[in-house]
Structure 1
Amino acid sequence: MLENNIFNSITLNPLRKIKKWIWPTVLTVVLLSIVIYAENVHHHQKCKNINVNIEGANESQLVTPDEILAIVSPNVVDSPEGKPFDKIDFKKIEKRVCLNKLVKSCQVHRDLSGEMTIDIVEHTPLARVLYNKSSDSYVTEKGDFIGISQHFTPRVLLLSGRYFDKIQDLKEVKSKPVLDLINAINVDPFWKAQITQLIVEKDGGITMVPEIGNHVIEFGMGIDIESKFKKIKFFYKDILPAKGWDTYHKVSVKYRNQIICE
């Protein structure tokens, strides 16, 4: 009897071990099959629709979803809609969209339902170059010239003068003083509201046109910006209230430690 029990115990132990691993193995195989099937379906799934999301700090959009869709789907043949996702080059679409200079960045992705989404971040212009013989252009904080929008005209600092006759952007070292001044004006609420235009001469000398007052401000080169702004604030705070806002037509802060009023 004892021998039978020992025999049965020895026989059942391997069977129990086998049964213990059967269901986990089966479950693993089933899950792997589902994942492989889903991956295969996901890989060959067709694009059902294209969504465009546009983000930016502007009051209104510089570019519209319709403009982006026209770039992505210029015709039926080139349109991603109806094509398998494994035949759609997302990077190529992103590069094509970024050819629009108003677009700062573009990212394309898809979801499990077959929707393709294009996320756009547009530039926030800091200034606008005014040209006499060609189209105007917005300027970014990095000095890029990005053209203008056909849909929205943001209120930004205006730039004019001979300096802009032959340059394509403000990214070169020689243009750094001009760009530094533009950025300094835009980060200060007071100067952003008060200074409406910069007239930049061929040599880089700058004259400011303020929002209030009948005077202009001869700023000189875009250097010693903080020091020059302090002198202009002194002019507004102490000189104009005492002399009157219409007394002077020009104030110069271009020379060190001097304020010249004319």
Structure 2
Amino acid sequence: MREYLFAFVFIIISITSNSQSLLIAEYDLNGNVSSKQTKGSSSIPELSANPENTNPGQASVLTATGCAGTIQWSTGQTGNSITVSPLSSTHYTAECIESGCGANGFERVKVNVIACEVYTLTAITAVASVKLGQPVSLFAYGCPGGIIKWSTGQVGGQISTKVYETTAIYKATCTSEFCDDQGSAYVIVGGTTGCANGDVLLTKQAGSWADPATWACNRVPGINDEVLLNHEVTLYGINGYAKTIIFKNGTLIYSDTGKLYTSANN
């Protein structure tokens, strides 16, 4: 009678302290270990992508930590940190190569690419022209499911803002969680100077504060007027009065003998 001997092979994988070891053991019919071999692997790196969600072609920085050796990426690059610019959602693998280890620990990270659809945005104004300092309502639409952001810093399909320029240009942009610009539109509002008390008084040319020719209405500002400076205005040896000062392209130059009084410091 022939006798047959059979061997059973058991493979035990354990992970300890972010590293893995491979134990291969063979047992005979009597349950005795006939042979075993342990192969150690390098550490399993921890991976991150910043940002994880990108537009097509946008750069994302991949970083690997927890490896005492060299990181080899599936892109062919080496190093703890690399930059990728995928055109579609992509998995990247990083292997930790450490001296003396029979196998490399590895991990994967995914960069999600989100294609941003572009919309035809429309922006309009309630009126084409208002007095400087007066509010105007602006409207924008054509941004389905997104958020409209204005160049004023305001958000929404309808906003109200004061006009302080003779030609005020406002930009509306359609945005979403991962898309900064899905279409933009512009609207222009004209601003006109007012000559009545309490209006915004605009400079016409550079000159002295006390000279009516400096001002668009040929009158010197009073304590109830908002003043918009588009030119260089001087206060030498005189006092000036205004409710507030708005600096656009202009400057105000004064000496120790010249003072400007506003409602804020009266």
TM-score bracket, shorter-length normalisation: under 0.3
More strand per residue: 1 or 2? 2
- Please give the TM-score of this superposition, normalised by the length of structure 2: 0.25
Query: Considering only CA atoms, is the larger Rg found in Structure 1 or Structure 2?
Result: 2
TM-score (norm 1): 0.26
